Amino acid sequence: MGHMPNEQPRTTTPRTPSYLNFDKASYAWDPETDYRQHPELYRVGKGEQGVLICEPYKSELVPLWRFRTPEIAEDSSRRILAQFHVYLKRGEFVGADMARKFLQMGYTRARRYANYKGGRKYDKASGHALLERGTGDPIKAESAAVFYKKWQEAEAEPAYAEKKANWKKAIG
């Protein structure tokens, strides 16, 4: 298990959100695909890619995913980690990887709300300029820490780590 990344303020440079130049045609995930029936079409990708697209796992995990308070985050992350283990036990690597992505996303989204008021990183009114950090909700930092711990627990699971390495080598 790792340690939480340093969340010190950093110098910001003007940049635009990545979604503005999104190339949908080259995106590896398809919302019309049932990844339980066609796991061979699933790609691990980077970070949380595909997390809100890959069905039926998305629909099974979204109802579990909450981070408003540390208590809610604890219950949510515990339930998602339990589902992660269910998927592993069933031999559903795609489901396990999606659950891992939801744990990671719990961390990153809670951190965004901790760093930026309302969780908004960019300001549309000023041409998508990066907003100032440190204006967010400190309670969300506690929620992020809860998700981070469970995310690292999932990543460290030997059966998952082996399946992930094999999947990336064989499929992507």
Handedness of CA 91, 65, 4, 53 (dihedral sign): positive
* 131, two tokens: 């907003």
| 97-124 pLDDT tens trace | 999 999 999 999 898 878 777 666 666 6
Instruction: Band the pLDDT of 38: cuts 50, 70, 90.
Output: very high
- State mean pLDDT over 70-85: 98
Taking the model in full, what pTM does it have?
0.78
Among the residue ranges 19-28, 39-48, 59-68, 87-96, the one predicted with the least confidence is 19-28
Helix axes 70-90, 93-115, angle to 10 degrees: 160
Q: Which long-range contacts (CB under 8 A, 24 or more apart) does 2-6 make?
A: 2/152, 4/145, 4/148
Domain residue extents for the chain: 49-170
- State mean pLDDT over 40-69: 93
Q: Is the pLDDT of residue 6 over 70?
A: no
DSSP secondary structure, 1-16, as one string:
---PPP----------
Torsion angle (degrees, nearest 10) of CA 68, 74, 79, 80: 70
Handedness of CA 9, 13, 16, 22 (dihedral sign): negative
| Residues making up the chain, counted from first to last | 172
